[in-house]
Amino acid sequence: MPGTIDPSGTEAAMRIIALEEHFLDLDVARASRPEAERLSPGSTAAYAPGTGYPYTPAPEVLLDLGEGRIADMDAHGISVQVLSTLSTQQLPADVAVELVRKVNDRTAAAVAAHPDRFAAFAALPTAVPEAAADELARAVGELGFVGSMINGRTGGGFLDEPRFDPVLRRSAELRVPIYLHPGVPPVETSRSNYEGGLDPIVTARLQTSAWGWHVETGTH
């Protein structure tokens, strides 16, 4: 399996396993968009090409779970990516379970096609905590995933709320980690901390990469 490449052109012994390796699922993106836009109306513009942000991957790059992604890994000395999708914590409860199951199956197919290059974190429908616990068990037990990723709050709540106990309990029983990824803070938090008459693009970046992501995840 490839490792990092040293300046002499020979392969080094150390392998790099990358954990923050997202892909785009269009069904999840469409279903989560209303909540995402409610939380951060300026977010799409803030990270669009041409607005000064240094790098935003093109949709076709994020959609790729095959040879294009592997070629990019090889070009940067990445041995393994642990794949994950985004935005499932913003899915409405009435569609979350079905969409998350489908996206986990899609992820599993990518891992099965390239088992020496990909592993996966499970997406969870945390809007329905009991179903999220069951999906975690399926993803780990049947699909071979190595843990789960939770992207920020669900309905404004952190994981220490009692309603999420089934998810925490199942993760402990399975002895797998929960990767806490940033998410957009609630509207109330943004209004008091990140707005103040600022340009919507500035607010969106303060909510996310400039400050909010780090505070939210640290608090979580």
In a domain? residue 1? no
Q: What does the pLDDT read at residue 169?
A: 98
User: Is there a contact between 83 and 119 (Cβ–Cβ < 8 Å)?
Assistant: yes
pLDDT in tens, 194-209: 998 899 999 999 999 9
Q: What does the pLDDT read at residue 51?
A: 72
In a domain? residue 36? yes
38: CB partners within 8 A, 6+ apart? 187
Q: What does the pLDDT read at residue 142?
A: 99
In a domain? residue 11? no
Q: What does the pLDDT read at residue 6?
A: 47
In a domain? residue 3? no
Q: What does the pLDDT read at residue 7?
A: 39
Q: What does the pLDDT read at residue 45?
A: 84
pLDDT in tens, 19-35: 999 999 999 999 999 99
Q: Which of 48, 25, 160 is nearest to 104 (CA)?
A: 25
In a domain? residue 21? yes
Q: Supply the pTM of this predicted model.
A: 0.89
Distance of alpha carbon 135 from alpha carbon 158, whole angstroms? 19
DSSP lists the bridge partners of residue 2 as none
Task: State the total domains in the chain.
Answer: 1
In a domain? residue 44? yes
In a domain? residue 208? yes
Whole-Å CA distances, 200 to 57, 106, 178, 196: 21, 35, 32, 10
The DSSP string of 129-153 is: HHHHHHHHHHHHHTT---EEEEES-
Distance of alpha carbon 63 from alpha carbon 72, whole angstroms? 13
User: Is there a contact between 191 and 198 (Cβ–Cβ < 8 Å)?
Assistant: no
Positions of the chain with pLDDT lower than 70, given as ranges = 1-13, 52
Distance of alpha carbon 83 from alpha carbon 43, whole angstroms? 23
Question: H-type helices in the chain, by residue range?
Answer: 26-39, 43-46, 59-63, 67-75, 93-113, 129-141, 165-174, 187-190, 200-207, 212-219
Instruction: Match 């899915």 to its residue by tokens.
Output: 91
DSSP lists the bridge partners of residue 82 as 119
CATH of the domain at 162: 3.20.20.140
Domain that residue 86 falls in: 17-49+58-219
Q: What does the pLDDT read at residue 14?
A: 85
Q: What does the pLDDT read at residue 43?
A: 85
In a domain? residue 4? no
